[in-house]
Amino acid sequence: MDSFWSGLLVPGVPFLDKAFRTLAVYTFLAVGLRLAGKRELGQLNQFDLIVLLMLSNTVQNAIIGDDSSLAGGLFGAAVLLAANFLVVRFLYGHPWLDHLVEGEPEELVRAGRLLRHNLRRNMITRLQLEAAARRQGIGTLADVDSCRLEVGGVLTFVQKQPTLADRRYREVLDRLDRIERLLGRSDRAVGAGPAG
C-alpha cells in the first residue's frame, strides 16, 4: 500500500526540473505556432488538426520526463496554467507587444475580390474558403463582400449587402408568390363548392 501512495504522490522528477521542462515546451510551442501561422490555430483541414493532436502527444514526454506520478502531473499542469495566465496578463498590459506576438488579421477577400497572394501566403485554397463560408451560412463566395483571417485563425465573413434594385426585385417576387398562393387557395375554394 505504501508503494501505491508513493507512486501517486512522490514525483519521479524534481519539481524544479519539471517546471523548467514545462516552461521550455510552452515557449517552444508559442514561438512555433506563431511561426507556423494562423492557419494552424484555425484547423482549416484534417491535416492541421492531426498536427496539433500529435504535437500535444509528442511534447507530453518532454514535459513529464520519467515521471508518471499524480503529483508530478498536477504540478506540470499548474506550472503550464500559471505560465499562460502570466503571459496573457502581461500581454494585456502591453498592447504593442501583444500585437507583435499575435500579429494582424489578414484580408482574404476585399470588396468581393479574392486576394490570391494572401490566400497563397496562408496556404488556404479557394475550396477551403468556400467551405468555411458555407459553415457560416453563406452560399457562395460571390455573396462575400470581405473575409479576414483573424489572429486566432478564425475566418470571419461579411456578406454583400443587396442593392436597392436587388431588394425591390426580391419584394416583387415575394408579392407574386403570395398572390399565387392566394389564387391557388381561392381556386380550390371555388372548385370545392357545392355541385349544381
- Which of 39-53, 64-78, 115-129, 151-165 is least confident? 39-53
- Tens of pLDDT, residues 87-136: 989 988 988 888 887 788 999 999 999 999 999 998 899 999 999 999 99
Q: Is residue 189 over pLDDT 50? A: yes
Amino acid at 74: L
Q: Mark out the alpha helices in 37-69 (DSSP H runs).
A: 38-42, 46-64
Domain limits, the chain: 2-102, 106-159
Report the largest interatomic distance among the alpha carbons of the chain, rounded to a whole angstrom: 101
CA 129 to CA 57: how far, in whole Å?
A: 29
Task: Name the CATH topology of 106-159.
Answer: CRO Repressor (3.30.240)
Confidence of residue 63 (pLDDT cuts 50, 70, 90): confident
Task: Tell me which residue has cell 494552424.
Answer: 40
Closest CA to 54 of 40, 74, 72: 40
How many CB atoms neighbour CB 70 within 10 A? 14
**Which SS3 state, helix, strand or coil, does residue 168 take?**
helix
What confidence score (pLDDT) does residue 196 get? 47
* Average pLDDT, integer, range 143-158: 90
